[in-house]
Amino acid sequence: MDYRAYEYYGAHKIQEDGKEYVRFTLWAPNAKEIYLTGDFNQWNDNNLPLQKIDKGNWTIKIQGVNEFDSYKYRIITWDNKVLYKADPYAFHAETPPKTASKYYDIKDFEWTDKRWMSKRNSNLINKAMNIYELNLYSWKRKENGEVYSYRELADELIPYINEMAYTHIELMPIMEHPFHGSWGYQITGYYAPTSRYGTPKDFMYLINECHKKNIGVILDWVPAHFCKDDHGLRQFDGKTCYESSHPYRADNDLWGTVNFDYSKDEVVNFLISNAKYWHEYYHIDGMRIDAVAYMLYLNSTGKDIKNQYGGSENLEAIEFIKKLNYEVFKSFPDTMMIAEESSAWPLVTYPTDLGGLGFNYKWNMGWMNDILKYMEMDPVYRKDNQKALTFTMTYAFSENYILPLSHDEVVHGKKSLLNKMPGEYEEKFAGLRLLYQYMYAHPGKKLLFMGGEFGQFIEWNENQALDWFLLDYEMHSKMRKFVIDLNKLYKKETCLHWIDNSFDGYRWIEHENHQESIIAFERIGKDEDKLIAIFNFTPVARPIYPIGVDEEGSYKVILNSDHTKYGGNTKRNKSYKTSKEEIHGRKYTLRVDLPGLSSLYLKLNK
């Protein structure tokens, strides 16, 4: 199987005997009768019956179908009920709250991103990757409150991403979904980019323009579950097609959705084909696979479900994930398959032939949970929780990690990143700058949710734009300046990204000073280039603080989170000369001035 079901199912233009038709093909194995109804037959319920062919498939070819014509399938179930269903393979859909599919010719978009596609993601593991996660519905709005279209976003978003010096954007799910309050995670149209912002080719245009400006595009994808809306996949032909026939396994009570049944070849074909479709037709640069832990474990939603051997592992889901990654990488070896996986499942980012799940990146949820818990503490208690800064290095190289500060951390009463920081107004900003500078020195690629770059004060609200007016205030503007400079430095300094997956790129200097909540380490880059990172997690300044180094000479501060241009108090960065005193197992000592709630990056002047 080549997993290109989108070329067979759905609505496709064909030529036969010199005439042009549109062929509609559907999988509905339990249906008694199926009729096509839409704009092209004035929504007549009965005059376009589909013919049942092999393996539960139905088909019809008709003339007179125009692009953007809306349609549905009228399905007569085994017990004579009538269902009106959208096409699972439709390339386009009506704008919610409408629910019909639309005929759309997906082919022949004129891509001009050949240069990007020829070089993207080569030697990815050694490259800088800092991802800006965003929700298109709430990133920015026009003055009248309207959302930007895909084409308008190309003019608004791309210059902003380039100014901020991000390498990639990650879009929260843009597949068609009826309820924007689900943030796109409850999908009805897996093959259709939401029409809220335009047509499929408008979305292609946005991606094409991103690529022309050297911005990669990652899509958030949801192969774990789907929504219960009547026009969607649930009980598609009156019986269970895409879900299990066992309600206890099918129903996802946690999210009020329905779980996919990976034991069915047709479901596996639908999903793997979908992943390949987005790569082939939209030139995407990667997928972030949502809720992988919920796929791996049968008891992930609290139900006591066992597999045939008495374990809690979802054996069919495991095989599906391995097959998914194998097939996607076989066709698109330069893409990214990123697991949002929160358990301790081993070998997530190892190849399938080595016993792994086959992803090439995994979100580091352990790091994220530990550092946010630590940063939310009053600094007086941090001395008793130094493990939050050190334990991460016991597993930092067990997988290829991305460090995520995502949308999930700024909703549902968790507070914004800025508002998580303890202290007064200025201390909150100092704490957030410290968090970011620590994140960028820690091994792993980086991801930050929109609004974090300028210190959004309130939680994310999917129904409104970010508070862009905050940039009129000095501290927020300086925060954005800090993130820009941090991103640029991260991309420039190979020390911060060249060796992200082994201790060859990381050496502890100081990790035992619990009482003062200070840590320091080296990052090592290409050609043994070194960067020293020092962090003070209390508001108490530590003048002439001793740090051990291997090489004699003068060291310059290349980034100081406490600089006045970022909202801090240090007016001028100093250079520091070594003294021949052994400390931290190194021959030489630097004595640096370490402001409270701050971080320094230093490099040897050569």
Residue 316 host element (H or E):
helix 315-331
Q: List the catalytic residue out of 261, 290, 453, 493.
A: 290
Beta bridge partners of 12: 23
CA quadruple 262, 266, 269, 270: dihedral positive or negative? negative
Dist. CA 419–CA 23, nearest whole Å: 55
Query: Which token pair is 511?
Result: 């990790």
DSSP at 42: T
- Burial label for 355, CB within 10 Å (0-12, 13-18, 19+), is exposed
CB distance 503 to 397 below 8 Å:
yes
Q: Could you give the CA distance from residue 240 to residue 242 in angstroms, rounded to a whole number?
A: 6
Instruction: Judge whether 340 counts as a catalytic residue.
Output: yes
Indicate if 562 belongs to the active site: no
Rg (CA), the chain: 27
Given a contact cutoff of 8 angstroms between Cβ atoms, the answer to whether 132 and 448 are in contact is yes
Helix axes 425-441, 474-492, angle to 10 degrees: 10
The number of CA neighbours under 13 Å toward the Cβ of 23 is 15
- CB contact at 8 A, 237 and 77: yes
CA nearest neighbour of 264 among 320, 303, 308: 320
3 state DSSP class of 302: coil
**What token pair was written down for 584?**
């931290």
Catalytic choice (340, 370, 409, 593): 340
Active-site positions read 290, 340
